[in-house]
A and B are shown apart, each in its own frame.
Chain A
Amino acid sequence: MMQDEKVPLWRDSRVIKIVGQAVVLAMVIAAIAFLGNNLVNNFQRLNLTFGFNFLDRSTSFGISNPPIEFSPTDPYIRALLIGLLNSLRVMFFGIIIATILGITVGISRLSDNWLVRNLAFAYVEILRNTPLLLQLFFWYFAVFLQLPRIDRPLVVGNLLFLTNRGLDVPWFITSGQTWLTLGCIVGCILLGILAWNKRIKAVEQGQNPQLWVWLLAGSAIATILLFIFGIDWAVPQLQNNSITGGLNLSPEFATLLVGLGIYTAAFIAEVVRAGIQSVSQGQWEAAKALGLNSSTMMQLVIFPQALRVMIPPLTSEFLNLAKNSSLAIAIGYSDIYAIGNTISNQTGKAVEVLLIIMLTYLTINLIISLVMNRFNSLVQLKER
């Protein structure tokens, strides 16, 4: 008994902590229970059932340009898989385009050249301050659908066909010959790398590198020849207002890729600029004092240090790009969101499809975060 020190219960910090947590937990549980109860009630009211059995049923709709084979008899789950592959395709190439363009524009923002600096400035401000959906419509209607119509295609050397139905390029047929050739090409490239290393070593040790140079040149020529003649190419051909063979990159895909890439690049440019400006003036001066020219200085001194600051915000931009890819539905690109939407419309399974889509985006974004965090820890200063 410590009568003299007795603190009332409502002012006891230990009690408050526990009670506070219990109250918050109870509120969260109550909210979930309330929503769950509503869901169950409403399902009952509408005579609907909850379940994922519908995923085995056949879709009976078509998907254009599927990355893997698809026919309307395939089940919904395969349609979702195609949607996922289409989404991943846009995210992957979109991130690459956005990063390259963003870094270029970001560095240009700090250029000494007035024109370059202000062009980069205009790029960032215009693209950052208009809605992405508007930009997508612009790319779709004002650019890609204005390309030549199918009856008057733009042909480059009978290999490339550019129309408002997409860009048709030669593509390899997955045959035994193609795989064999691809194997040989990998072999040639490995041989080339080996020759390169041997040549450097030979030069360092003062021997004659002639042999290795010849080997290097030989493997390069072999690679090119194999690439052109060895692979089983399917060349696009125009007949009866349709192009068959080869790979078709649809205007919808192009719109989304270009739209997302260019839009996100504007944000990345600002991240890059901020990163570069965060490197202290002393580093610039020190690099100049060593006599480095401006590109070497950027490459070896400034950029690696800026990278440490840039990666966390860059991760956010990549995540944004991944999520923004769901705007595909507005321009008719079959990403997972668009396909999920069609499925929920056909089956009435809105809640189930919603869950699948949410989990998919969550997983993709967690993977992006994981990779970027790993990269982040690699470039951080190693403290010993």
Chain B
Amino acid sequence: MSVWITLKQKLSPIFLALVLITIGNGCGNNNAETNGEEASDSRLGIIQNRGNLVCGVNGQLPGFSFVDENGEYSGMDVDICRAVASALFGDPAQVEFRDLSTQERFTAVQSGEVDLLSRNTTWTISRDTSVGMEFAPTTFYDGQGLLVTKASNIQGLEDLDGQSVCVLSGTTNEQNLADRMRKLGLNYSPVVLEDVDLLYGAYEQGRCEAATSDRSQLVARRAVLAQPDDHEVLDLVLSKEPLGPLTANGDTQWSDAVKWVTYALIQAEELGINSQNIDSFADTEDPTIRRFLGLEGNLGEDMGLPNDFAQNIVRNVGNYGEIYQRNIGQPFNLERGLNALWTDGGLMYSPPFR
């Protein structure tokens, strides 16, 4: 773990808050000057002019966003960013990733440092309203779990009475844990760390009896512990954690674009279109598919995107099922569960492309 990254993380919330909220108001000024013209008013126009998308990610979480030793990003959250870039520019590589800590993420969106946050972030009412975020559809339905050592014989929250629990600061996990323990009338002492690597390091050293986070994160991090077999993720779901991408509040055009790019991934899977077979749909007669792929109508153009945005997404990144399988299903053996299509009993459902 790099010391400098942590130093950067430590300083940047304040730095961002101070410098960017006060000075970095490029789009704020634009708002006032070009009120008449809608295209340059929105962040969508700014991104299109700039030619690349700035996407805030985690960077430390295998399966969602993880930087490998060559500096390559991979994961589900990363693929969402690439899907948006494909929709905007037809090129999934036009993304600049920014690693953000849990503490930095909302400030980075508020201040406009990132265009889009795709960082396993839970959709909650307060984040949607008072924090000033605008959530796109959920891309991963998760729940909070507990990671413990097998030797500890911990079965549930009751066994954690009087124990210490490692948790990331500024997360919904921190609050859910407090709520659940309060409800059960149990005492615990939270060890609140700011860095994901540091958190699992401290857990591994035995600083805390359990680590709590979203189950997908626990499964992914367990795989990279020194002795994965000594640890287990308890079969226990503490909360609802719908994770998805988000943008800043108050820019409908941009947030609509992100919203429908996300839906396009789900819709593509429902229509049976994937990155392998997409070319075979070029001369399809099915009006739903023709509209979806931009072969007729102008759904994309009305939104400010190229008309064939959905085509580009599927061709470059794949549909939702492919993204899931590639990043989470296959590496971690995690069932689709709630994340299956609604037609398969899951919650993934796209409104019609009409």
Number of interchain pairs (Cβ within 8 Å): 169
Residues in B with CB closer than 8 Å to A242 are 161-163, 209
Q: Which of B183-191, B229-237, B301-309 contacts A (4 or more CB under 8 A)?
A: B183-191
A177 contacts B by Cβ under 8 Å: no
**B152 and A241 form a contact (CB under 8 A):** yes
Interface residues of B (CB under 8 A from A): 3, 6-7, 10, 13-14, 16-18, 21-23, 25, 27-29, 31-32, 102-103, 106-107, 110-111, 126-127, 130-132, 152, 161-164, 169-170, 174-175, 177-179, 181-182, 188-195, 198, 201-202, 205-209, 248-250
17 A-B pairs with C-beta separation under 8 A: A38-B28, A41-B31, A47-B250, A63-B192, A64-B191, A72-B178, A145-B207, A330-B7, A331-B193, A331-B198, A342-B192, A344-B17, A345-B106, A347-B130, A348-B110, A350-B16, A350-B110
**Nearest-neighbor residue (CB-CB) of B27 within chain A:** A45
**A332 and B193 form a contact (CB under 8 A):** yes
Contact of B18 among A62, A338, A354 (CB under 8 A): A354
Give the complex CA separation of A39 and B132 in angstroms. Answer: 15
**B190 and A64 form a contact (CB under 8 A):** yes
Taking CB atoms and an 8 Å cut-off, the chain A residues in 275-307 that contact chain B are none
| Shortest Cβ gap from A64 to chain B (Å) | 4
- Given contacts A45-B250, A46-B110, A150-B206, A350 and B175 within 8 Å (CB-CB): no
**Nearest-neighbor residue (CB-CB) of B170 within chain A:** A345
A327 contacts B by Cβ under 8 Å: yes
**B250 and A241 form a contact (CB under 8 A):** no
**A73 and B207 form a contact (CB under 8 A):** no
Residues in B with CB closer than 8 Å to A175 are none
Contact of B21 among A39, A63, A72 (CB under 8 A): A39
| Shortest Cβ gap from A162 to chain B (Å) | 14
Contact of B207 among A61, A71, A251, A329 (CB under 8 A): A251
Give the complex CA separation of A354 and B169 in angstroms. Answer: 17
- Given contacts A46-B250, A72-B182, A338 and B192 within 8 Å (CB-CB): yes
Give the complex CA separation of A48 and B175 in angstroms. Answer: 23
A369 contacts B by Cβ under 8 Å: no
Contact of A141 among B6, B201, B249 (CB under 8 A): B201
Residues in B with CB closer than 8 Å to A62 are 174, 177-178, 181, 188-190
- Given contacts A61-B174, A341-B169, A342-B192, A164 and B21 within 8 Å (CB-CB): no
A228 contacts B by Cβ under 8 Å: no
Flag A55-81 by CB within 8 Å of B: 1 or 0 each: 000001111110000011100000000
| Shortest Cβ gap from B85 to chain A (Å) | 24
Q: Which of A86-94, A129-137, A183-191 contacts B (4 or more CB under 8 A)?
A: A129-137
**A354 and B14 form a contact (CB under 8 A):** yes
**B250 and A63 form a contact (CB under 8 A):** no
**A133 and B202 form a contact (CB under 8 A):** no
Contact of B22 among A35, A63, A341 (CB under 8 A): A35
Give the complex CA separation of A39 and B14 in angstroms. Answer: 15
**B178 and A345 form a contact (CB under 8 A):** no
Residues in A with CB closer than 8 Å to B208 are 165
A264 contacts B by Cβ under 8 Å: no
- Given contacts A38-B28, A63-B190, A72-B178, A347 and B169 within 8 Å (CB-CB): no
Taking CB atoms and an 8 Å cut-off, the chain A residues in 318-363 that contact chain B are 327, 329-332, 334, 338, 341-342, 344-348, 350-351, 354, 357
**Nearest-neighbor residue (CB-CB) of B159 within chain A:** A240
A146 contacts B by Cβ under 8 Å: yes
**A344 and B250 form a contact (CB under 8 A):** no
| Shortest Cβ gap from A281 to chain B (Å) | 45
- Given contacts A38-B23, A350-B107, A334 and B206 within 8 Å (CB-CB): no
| Shortest Cβ gap from B174 to chain A (Å) | 5
- Given contacts A133-B7, A145-B205, A338 and B169 within 8 Å (CB-CB): yes
**B191 and A252 form a contact (CB under 8 A):** yes
The 7 A-B pairs with the shortest beta carbon distances in the complex, nearest first, are A348-B131, A345-B170, A350-B17, A64-B189, A72-B178, A145-B205, A242-B162
| Shortest Cβ gap from A65 to chain B (Å) | 6
Give the complex CA separation of A90 and B339 in angstroms. Answer: 47
**A350 and B206 form a contact (CB under 8 A):** no
A210 contacts B by Cβ under 8 Å: no
Contact of B163 among A65, A241, A342 (CB under 8 A): A241
Residues in B with CB closer than 8 Å to A133 are 3, 6-7, 10
**B189 and A65 form a contact (CB under 8 A):** yes
| Shortest Cβ gap from A40 to chain B (Å) | 10
**Nearest-neighbor residue (CB-CB) of B188 within chain A:** A62
- Given contacts A45-B28, A46-B132, A72-B182, A38 and B22 within 8 Å (CB-CB): yes
**Nearest-neighbor residue (CB-CB) of A252 within chain B:** B191
Give the complex CA separation of A35 and B22 in angstroms. Answer: 5
Give the complex CA separation of A61 and B207 in angstroms. Answer: 19
**A47 and B170 form a contact (CB under 8 A):** no
Residues in B with CB closer than 8 Å to A111 are none
**A42 and B132 form a contact (CB under 8 A):** no
